[in-house]
Amino acid sequence: MASNSVLSGGVSRRSFLRGSVAASAALALAGCGQASQSGSSDAAASSDSSSASSSSSSDLAKISFVLDYTPNTNHTGIYVAQAKGYFADEGLDVEIVQPPEDGADALIGAGGAQMGVSYQDVMANSFSSDQPMPYTAVAAIIQHNTSGIMSRAADGITRPKLMEDHTYATWDQPVEQATIKDVVEADGGDYSKISLVPYNVDDEVSGLKANMFDTVWVYEGWAVQNAKVQNYDVNYFSFISIDDVFDYYTPVIAANDDFAKENPDQVKSFLRAVKKGYEFCVENPSDAADILCDAVPELDSDLVHASQDYLKDQYIADASAWGVIDGSRWAKFYQWLNDQGLVQNQLDVNKGYDLSYLEA
């Protein structure tokens, strides 16, 4: 029992993620509102057509869905389902809301939002506590962990061992630092030779440019694409290429347990609509990006389209269908948390998810 929280101290996971995405939005010279006008018009026309054929809002069951942070391409399938009327077709009126200061998980657990976005590692924090929140993962948004380490190409840091004698921007979380230590040592490196500096930036690419740090944990679907959009040369390696124990689910859709138990058909309806939304993203990444841009015009259009093009191959990847959670992968990561002493109480490695609401 090394820590009272998987994500205790330092910068919060939500702040880290929100800062990364919000910064990219702030960099936009031409917002999504100036993206492909034909795509936006088509999305709007589709939305109008779908809405006209759906039931009146008074007949629809209301669901509040809380995001984990600022809207981005992890969420595109949700916005597609809303814009194209998939929710209404399922008899649902879905309100997409931003998370409160204490995060999406607390709101879902308290029932303030019936469903929302979380992560397997963050949920472990609750599950291992003395008072676990009553919520459960019901679908995976992205099939594999797409995070890793990004650095300046000029520094030649192409593998974990080469992080030695360089700085790493940490948000001072036990799991984060244990992950870095694990991959560096697995590659034959010495973790003690890495200098930890505070993660204190709004944009990882800008931080690298300013020499605020040499290496940083990022998500390939956003920060690496941001580097490409900015024409800035970087190196990147994924954690799962070093150790597959880190192939956990990030992000997932979670549901409040009481809501799911009392309204199983609504959870199934929601997931049917969202599954169609993400399948649309896979088949039509540019159109899906336009839909997200139409809903959130302050985002950087070029980055959204680049990110969407990358994620089209990640939402389902090698799974049999969108949303599937591999129980062995789920259990392997939770066992690692147990073994490393990174949870307050030992986790039941086979609990925390339920695929019974997800239809093939």
Digit-by-digit pLDDT tens for the chain (360 residues) are 333 334 333 444 444 454 445 444 444 444 575 443 334 434 444 444 444 444 566 789 999 999 998 999 999 999 999 999 999 999 999 999 999 988 999 999 999 999 999 999 999 999 999 999 999 999 999 999 999 999 999 999 999 999 999 999 998 989 999 999 999 999 999 999 999 999 998 899 999 999 999 999 999 999 999 999 999 999 999 999 999 999 999 999 999 999 999 999 999 999 999 999 999 999 999 999 999 999 999 999 999 999 999 999 999 999 999 999 999 999 999 999 999 999 999 999 999 999 999 997
Cβ atoms 164, 136 nearer than 8 A: no
Q: Is-cis flag, bond preceding 100, omega within 30?
A: no
pLDDT at 311: 98
pLDDT of residue 58: 72
- Distance between CA 135 and CA 23 in Å, rounded? 30
Q: Which amino acid is at 122?
A: V
pLDDT for 202 equals 82
Strand segments (E) across 144-211? 147-152, 167-170, 195-198
pTM score, whole prediction: 0.87
- pLDDT on residue 182: 95
In the chain, what is the straight-line distance between the N-terminal and C-terminal CA atoms, in Å? Answer: 39
Longest dimension (CA), the chain: 62
User: Smallest Cα–Cα separation from 245: which of 184, 144, 348, 336?
Assistant: 336
Classify residue 101 by burial, with Cβ atoms within 10 Å: 0-12, 13-18, 19+. exposed
Q: 327-335 — which CB contacts under 8 Å span 24+ positions?
A: 327/353, 329/244, 329/247, 329/248, 329/249, 330/120, 330/248, 330/249, 332/244, 332/245, 332/247, 333/120, 333/121, 333/245, 333/246, 333/247, 333/248, 334/120, 334/124
pLDDT of residue 115: 98
* Buried/exposed 265-280: b ≥16 CB within 10 Å, e otherwise: ebbbbbbbbbbbbbbb
